[in-house]
Structure 1
Amino acid sequence: MEVVAVLYRVKQFFRGIFASRLSKDEVDFVKENLPEAAWELFFQMNRADKRHSMHVLKTALELFDDGFREQDFPYLSKQDAGNLRQLLIRCCLLHDVGRGSSMGPIRKSIAVLLNRFFPVWSRRYGRCDSRSYVRGLLYRYYHHGELGGELLRGIGMSTEAAIISLHHKKGRGNMLPENRKLLSILKEADGLN
């Protein structure tokens, strides 16, 4: 099992290092599905995180389209299901905006290694933000969901903020059942990518 985890992280590192730029169609898709203030946050992310968000989106939409409305919420109208699908798109695109532009694949790898080999120390050391390279790095790594949520609340996207704030937490918060399901889809899609 340990070898599989290491290989997954190596693959993730190289996928980030060699992440391709978004195509014109992908850029247009982002602009069509996010308000301007939100797509500005999206485009501030580094290339690897933007590409990762597109992969998460593809996986999440596959999970959603495989019977979300019929299986889990048969009472939802097609319009309500469509609105939830749009909410999922926004959450997938924006789920890592809290990392900012500086948390590229190399810095993320440092945080992953510190978390793997020194979990207690790195969680404690990364509890608060700092100008210290390592402390600031760990803070962003552990708290990017909440940081992204704060950014989104600041531009009026409170529903998205509530979901994104929890995408690396164990709990599911106090939200509508449909939004809790979107959160679980986001978590699963993020974990698969």
Structure 2
Amino acid sequence: MLQRIRQFYYAITGRLSSEDREKITQYLPAEAVSLFDAMHPADQYHAFRVARSAAVLCDIAADPSIDRDLLIRCALLHDIGRQKGDMDIWGKVFAVLMMWWRPQFARRWAAAQHGRFRHALFIYLAHPSIGAEKLTAIGMKREAEIISLHHTPPSPVDCRELCLLRYADEKN
């Protein structure tokens, strides 16, 4: 729960600097930067923190089979299925609490077009596949594949980039 409190604090206080934005444009093509910019500022800040953590984890792993740039792109884009207006901070708080407290009910209750909180649950649950569709549309198929799986349970066949993305996301 302490981790969730820290996430909430960063969501309401965190902002990207001009240096942060410059780093983002170094890793993402223009179409992907547009998708990144469509996210809520709190999600942008979260994604940047995940990318920073993922880069550190990649460096620590020192595994030449890990595509560091792919990992960073995935970290920056892993939440693009949530865009400004879809879910505000309070909607996310609601969705996280419902998934913790009553996950089966939350999954049944989630609906795309039935009120603010039901829509927040829908976006919370569907954002990996929504984001993957957006990435596929701009030709980023490998990133789409990884991002579509970032909230699924771990599998022995998961690529290293997906494993590191999940861990970095969990810690941020």
Common topology (TM > 0.5): yes
- TM-aligned CA deviation for residue 186 of structure 1: 0.1
Partner of 2:90: 106
Structure 2 residue 104 is the aligned partner of structure 1 residue 124: no
- TM-aligned CA deviation for residue 172 of structure 1: 4.5
Structure 2 residue 32 is the aligned partner of structure 1 residue 38: yes
Q: Which amino acid aligns with 1:90?
A: R
Cα distance in 2 for partners of 1:139, 1:173 equals 28
Cα distance in 2 for partners of 1:100, 1:58 equals 21
Q: Is the 8 A contact 2:154 2:163 kept in 1?
A: no
Q: Which amino acid aligns with 1:66?
A: I
- Using the size of structure 2 for normalisation, the TM-score is 0.91
Alignment equivalent of 1:90, drawn from 73, 98, 103: 73
Cα distance in 2 for partners of 1:47, 1:173 equals 34
Gaps of 5+ in 1: 74-80
Matches for 1:26-175 after TM superposition, within 5 Å: 26-69=20-63, 73=65, 84-102=67-85, 103-126=87-110, 128-172=111-155
Cα distance in 2 for partners of 1:54, 1:168 equals 18
Cα distance in 2 for partners of 1:59, 1:96 equals 15
Deviations 1:3-24 (A, max 9, x none): xx2x32222212201122x111
Q: Is the 8 A contact 1:33 1:86 kept in 2?
A: yes
Deviations 1:3-53 (A, max 9, x none): xx2x32222212201122x11111111112111110000011111111111
Cα distance in 2 for partners of 1:172, 1:163 equals 13
The runs of at least 4 consecutive aligned structure 1 residues that moved more than 4 Å come to 171-174
- TM-aligned CA deviation for residue 119 of structure 1: 1.7
Structure 2 residue 164 is the aligned partner of structure 1 residue 185: yes
Gaps of 5+ in 2: none
- Using the size of structure 1 for normalisation, the TM-score is 0.82
Q: How many corresponding residue pairs?
A: 171
Question: What secondary structure does 1:30 align onto?
Answer: helix
Question: What secondary structure does 2:113 align onto?
Answer: coil
Q: Is the 8 A contact 2:75 2:165 kept in 1?
A: yes
- TM-aligned CA deviation for residue 168 of structure 1: 0.4
Cα distance in 1 for partners of 2:156, 2:106 equals 25
Cα distance in 1 for partners of 2:147, 2:141 equals 10
- TM-aligned CA deviation for residue 100 of structure 1: 1.1
Question: What secondary structure does 1:142 align onto?
Answer: helix
Q: Is the 8 A contact 1:166 1:172 kept in 2?
A: no
